[in-house]
Structures are given as C-alpha cells and as structure tokens.
Amino acid sequence: MVESRVDKQADEQVDVLIIGAGASGAAAAWNLAETKMRIVCLEQGEWMNPSDYPSTTRDFEARSFGEFSISPNNRGRITDYPINDDHSPIKIANFNGVGGGTILYAGHYPRFHPSDFRVRSLDGVADDWPIDYETLAPFYDQDDQITGVSGLVGDPAYPAHPPKNSLMPPLPLGRAGETVARGFNARGWHWWPSDSAIATQPYEGRDRCINLGACLSGCAQGAKASTDITYWPAAIRAGVELRTRCRVSAVTVDDNDRATGAIYFDADGVRKHIRAEVVVLAMNGVGTPRILLNSTSQRFPNGLANSSGLVGRNLMFHPYATISGVFEEAQDGYRGPIDCLWSQEFYETRDEHNFLRGYTFEMTRGRGAVITALGGMASGRIPWGAAHHDAYRALHNRITGMVAICEDLPEAHNTVTLDPHLKDSDGVPSPRIDYTLSENSRNMLDHAVARATDVLRAAGAVDVMSESPLAVGGWHLMGTARMGTDPETSVVNEWGRSHDVKNLFIVDGSVFVTSAGVNPTRTISALALYITDSMKQRLANLFD
Amino acid sequence: MNSENIISSDAPLSAVQQRMLRRVLQAMIPPSEVHQVPGADDPTIVAAILMAGAQQLPLLTPALDALHTYIETSNDSAGQDRPAESQDLAVEWFREQHPEIAGLLMALTIQCYYRDDRVMASLDMEPRPPFPQGYEVSDGDWSLLDPVRARGPIYRPTNNS
C-alpha cells in the first residue's frame, strides 16, 4: 500500500516499528532497546492478567475450550482474527496478546540440532539454511538466560560442543515419567528429561512450578516463561513502547521501495498511520504473510517483499500424533506440567524407514478429570448408563503417553493466502490455509504411532489409544517467508532483511527454511536475537 | 459448587423441556450408590449445565421438544414411571436422531459433572482449583537414565559438529 492512500494527519515518526509482541517481537524489542532508538511495538491483543487464567477457577478445564481455546476460531476474542482453515487437516492454534503463542504453549523448549540446518546436504530434500547451528548457538545461550531454561545437561541426542547448558534442574519425572521411561528402556531407546521453559526454582522474579497441570491455558504461577513476563518487562524498562489493541492491516512503502511504516486500527477502530525508518515483522508464520499479501501497491501488486512469489508458500506445521496408554497403576493424572521427557530415537533419517527426516516423542504426562471423560466417551471407552462410573475410574489418573512431533518438509502448494470473503472486525482480510499432509509425513506419523505403542505396551499399558494426525495441533507456523541468499528462492536474506525492501525485516517463524522435528519457540527467539544483533552490527550501512 | 449460589435466568427451559433434559442426563450418567455420586440429573449439576450452556440452549430446546413428541407418540408419556429399558429406548432414539445435540450435551454435562464437589470427593480429588496450592509430583527415579547414559551419543554429526 503506497503512502498516498493514507491519511497522514495523525502520523507519528519512530525509528523502529515492531509488529507483534509474541516470542519473536519480544526478543527483537529487548535486543534493539540498547540502541536507544525510538522503538514502538504494535500488538493487536492485550496484556494478560495471570489471575484471570483458568487454573484459578474450578471450571478451568471448561474454560480451556472457550475463552482460552488454542483455536482463534473457537476463542473468538475481539483481539483475534478468524482464520479459514477448512482446507487443512490440521487447524491453526495461536494466541493474540502480549506474549503471543507463549501464553498457551506447553513450554517445551528444545533446540534444533546441527543437522537441522543441513537437510539438503544430508538427505537431499528441502534446502539447507543459509546459517548453521554454530551461528545460532550464542543466541540460544542468550535466550536461555532471559527465558530461564530447566533441563539436564548431557543429552546424548545433542553434540557436547557447543555445550547446551541448563540453568535449573529438570522438571520432576513423577510416576508417569517413570512409567514411560521404563518403556523406552525396555526397548533400548533414547529418552532424556525435556528442556523446558518452566522454572523449577525461583528465577528472575518468577516463582517455581507448583504442578498446576494447566500449562496450555496460561500459567497463573508465572513459572512458565511467556514473553510478557520475561523479555517485555526488561524491554519496556529499557525504553521500548508497547501499544496493545493496535491491529496492523498493511505496511506502507514509498516510491523508492522503502517501508515507511504501517497502517493500523486502534481499540476504537480508528485507522492510523505510524511512520518508521525500520519495520520489523513478528506476527508468526500466518500473520506475517497475511499482512505482506495485504500490502499491495503499484510497485508490489502481489504483496510486499514478494518478488520471489514465495510469501505465503511452503507453510510448514509439525504434524502431530498423540498416543496414550492406559495403565492399571495410578499415574500422575491431572497433576504436573505437561513437559517431562522426550525421546529422539527416531530423529534422523534411516535407510530402513519409508520416510526422510524424523520426529521427537514428547511425553504428555496425564489428563484432567474432564479431558479424561471427554476422550473416554468420544472413543466409546466410557459408555452412557450404569457402566459409566466403573469405566471412567478405569481411566481416571491411569492415562499417560506422548505426542510425536514430526518434521514437515516445505512444499510450495501449502499456502497462506488472503481469504476473498472472511475478514476480521476491522475489515482486514483473513488468512486462508491450504495444506495437504504429504506421504512422507503420513508414513512418519504411522511409524511414530507404532513405535509409541511399542513403548507403552512395554511399560505395561493395558490399552493404547491414538489420534493421527492431531487435528487441533497447528501450533507451529513456519516457512512462509523463507530465509536464503538467493532473492529468487527466498524472501529474506541470511540475516532476516527483505531482499526487496531494504528496511523491512522478518524475525518470526516465517523465515524458517525447514521445520526440524522439535518445537520451534527456542529457535524463533534465538533467530530474533540473531537478526536484531545483525542489524545492530550493521547500523551504519543497514540499508546497503 | 452449591446450587444455592447459582442464579439461573428466568425459566430457560419449559417444564416439559426440563423433564426431557433430566431424562437424558439420567440416562447418560445415573447416580451410583457404590461410588456415592449423584447422577447428572442432580439439580445442582443441571443448574450448572444450564448456566454453562446458556448460549447453546436455542440449539438444545428443539431436540428436547422432539424427544417429548417421540415419547408422547410412542405412548411412553409416563416416562419416569416406566421400566429403565423403556426410558433407554427413548434416549437411544434421541441420540440417533440428534447426534450433534447429544454430543454437545455430553460435553457440557461432563464439564459440569466432573467439577462437582461430591464427584471430585469420590475420585479423591480436592474440590478446589489448581492455583494457588498446586500439587505434589514426585521427583522420580533418575537412575532410570543409567542405560541411556551408558549407550552414549546418538546425534548425527555434520561437517561442523
């Protein structure tokens, strides 16, 4: 959208405009704050009040299906935008607010592996990243300090050098962790305590985890590191201004192909323009391509920064399978964080597999009373009628298991586009998701379900249930503005700057070249720190 | 949860609809003397369901009316005086003819039933929200890691690692 179409009467000028206050926007703001530039972040959501989180009320499980649902379409807050995901077997999960997706994430906090940056070289598929693990390692370390990562040093699934330190002891194994660990040991397969963004000791003003068991609907204790309580307080103290209820609709440009700022709607729906010398996009792998595609002009008729035609393409999720066992002995049930242990036995490509790349098993500990009943009745394990009670008690506190988080390979036909009909409450076009599960992913999911069943049976499960792919599992949104050195095959360069618009940067999961087989938040944060550090190193010639 | 503290809106359901609702709920989760729990048709739990499902009532009421019509036309109007098998037939009809409504009602019922004080007590759960007390989880036996450590590295090397 060119400036001439914008009412400039209310314009204000800042040095750096960051759009989005989630994991990447928070890290970018914190890292740029020391430049003493005037930095403003616009966030469409609001600050969260931990005392409002569901775990503070008796109906906490019910509320996790409503106002704290992971689906923006179910949640339907005024701060959300609807998403047309009817054409995808995996539905979008997100949260719009200060902290973004970290408000509702589990806190699983793995790093990528060195091999994840060399997928083309090692396995002949997808592409290599233009950076490597060693480049990112110091920024992982930096993020670990701000986030406060718990875990156990020495995981044999990661190289010893550069070291991956832990700042706090791991989360408790509990009964369920012991059960699953015995299953992996019986098979002779790898497992290790998960790296987690959940504090196990008091850390930087946050208290330790007290096993509320409701991580996925916000941590009332503040033990889980969401960026509203980690990066943002420090960034604001350092001078960054964060404005909530400001929904950006488009990035503006001038006739020299420079970004000039953004159009946004405030809480009252008033349309405004803010001018900026530098624009940083941090809206996640769906939100960022949405706004780029909505930023059309004569110079950029197909959307901003899109000369490659790749904005919105190569959408990657992590296809999930969930596999749970029923045990005769009591497990942890509703108690304790979801995070516990992981296995990367099948993380890498093997000749004997009918798929390339691999996946991580992440244990999911237990289930609440309501979730147990819902799952049991939906699957027919718990009937209506007099037999209900005994059937329920055979499952209550007796379920544990894991998810498989599978590497998704980039495919150009998996897209985020603008829906021609659906709009948000400010009239901004909503994203439409078109995604198909590849044969590689299907084979990987089948393998994971079979192997997890082996583990759970070996651990003593008397019944095993699974869902594959997990329909609600579209938490991780990646690849839709990929990073690379070639402007014809990528959207941003190797340090996050748009090839087409020299003062436009992207710091969120959109820039991922491949997805790896682990949760992306730690890598998103590290990338945001790396990209903003690259900006600081180049301040004198940032736009050359 | 205490029914005396629940303020319901003015007659969200007619008397007939309330009777039909209780009939379905009783068939879904009946009371149990063995486990010392009420049925889902318990007044306190019904009040909670109606409050939680206030927005869905317009979907629910036509299905309850249809159930009533079915019972009337099949000469089963005595309802609660009939043998249990006869009641089950009507509820089975309801589930078959209105599966989405039955599913919605099931979800609402479960969300309210399994947070009722009496039900939680029966399950050895404290009737309270998780926060602020939290829960205890045992640290676990970390010696289980010994065979994993003994096996050694499993990561895939690259040129740089």
Q: Which of B140, B155, B160 sits opposite A173 (nearest CB)?
A: B140
- B/e letters for B76-102, b = 16+ CB within 10 Å, e = fewer, are beebeebeeeebebbbebbbeebeebb
Q: Which chain A residues have a beta carbon less than 8 Å from that of B42?
A: none
Cβ(A520)–Cβ(A478) below 8 Å: yes
CA dihedral A171, A174, A176, A181 (to 10 degrees): 70
8 A C-beta contact, residue A322 and residue A471: no
The verdict on A190 touching B (C-beta cutoff 8 Å) is: yes
Q: Do B140 and A175 touch (CB under 8 A)?
A: yes
Overall pTM surpassing 0.90 (yes/no)? yes
Task: Determine the residue of chain A that is closest to B116 in CA distance.
Answer: A58
Q: How confident is the model at residue B159 (pLDDT cuts 50, 70, 90)?
A: confident
* Average pLDDT, integer, range B79-84: 54
For position A290, what pLDDT does the model report? 98
Identify the closest residue of chain B to A183 by CA–CA distance.
Answer: B144
Q: How far is A130 from chain B (nearest CA, A)?
A: 14
Asked if A179 is an interface residue toward chain B (Cβ–Cβ < 8 A), one would say no
For residue A337, the chain B residue with the least C-alpha distance is: B137
B94-113 average pLDDT score: 97
A49 touches chain B (CB under 8 A): no
Q: Whole-angstrom Cα distance, residue A155 to residue A213?
A: 25
Q: Dihedral sign, CA of A238, A239, A244, A249?
A: negative
* Chain A residues with beta carbon closer than 8 angstroms to that of B27: 384-385
pLDDT value at residue A45: 98
The answer to whether the Cα torsion of A90, A88, A66, B24 is positive or negative is: negative
CB A234 within 8 A of CB A241: no
Nearest Cβ partner of B131 from A56, A62, A175? Answer: A56
Verify whether the Cβ–Cβ distance B158 to A374 is below 8 Å: no
Task: Tell me the nearest-neighbour CA distance from A173 into chain B, angstroms.
Answer: 5
Mutate to test the interface with B, among A131, A219, A389 (most CBs of B within 10 A): A389
Q: Specify the pLDDT at position B126.
A: 96
| Cβ <8 Å between B35 and A214 | no
Q: Do B110 and A377 touch (CB under 8 A)?
A: yes
Minimum-distance CB partner of A373 among B37, B114, B131 = B114
**Rounded Cα gap, residues B38 and A85, in angstroms:** 41
* Intervals of chain A under pLDDT 70: 1-10
Kind of pairing between the strands at A259-265 and A271-281: antiparallel
Confidence of residue B10 (pLDDT cuts 50, 70, 90): low
Say if A387 is an interface residue toward chain B (CB within 8 Å): no
DSSP A14-73: EEEEEE--SHHHHHHHHHHGGG---EEEE-SSB---GGGSGGGSTTHHHHTTTTT-S-HH
The C-alpha R_g of chain A, in whole angstroms, comes to: 23
- Judged by CB atoms closer than 8 Å, whether chains meet at B129 and A60 is answered as yes
Yes or no: say if A511 and A492 are a contact pair by the CB < 8 Å rule. yes
Chain B positions touching A220 (Cβ under 8 A) are 130-132
Interface check for A129 against chain B (CB to CB < 8 A): the answer is no
Cβ contact B155–A159 (<8 Å): yes
Q: A391: which 2 tokens?
A: 């059937």
* CB-based contact B111 A65, cutoff 8 Å: yes
pLDDT confidence of residue A11: 83
Query: Which of A156, A174, A221 has its CB closest to that of B151?
Result: A156
- Among the partner-chain residues B29, B120, B129, the one whose CB lies closest to the CB of A388 is B29
**Residue of chain A whose Cα is closest to the Cα of B52:** A62
Note the pLDDT of residue B80. Answer: 53
Q: How many CB pairs under 8 A join A and B?
A: 181
Please answer yes or no on whether B154 and A190 come within 8 Å at the CB atom. Answer: yes
Residue of B33, B131, B143, B151 to mutate, interface with A, max A Cβ within 10 Å? B131
Q: Where are the alpha helices (DSSP H) in B12-98?
A: 15-28, 43-52, 57-73, 84-97
Q: Which residue intervals of A267-358 are DSSP H helices?
A: 284-294
* A219 at B interface, C-beta within 8 A: no
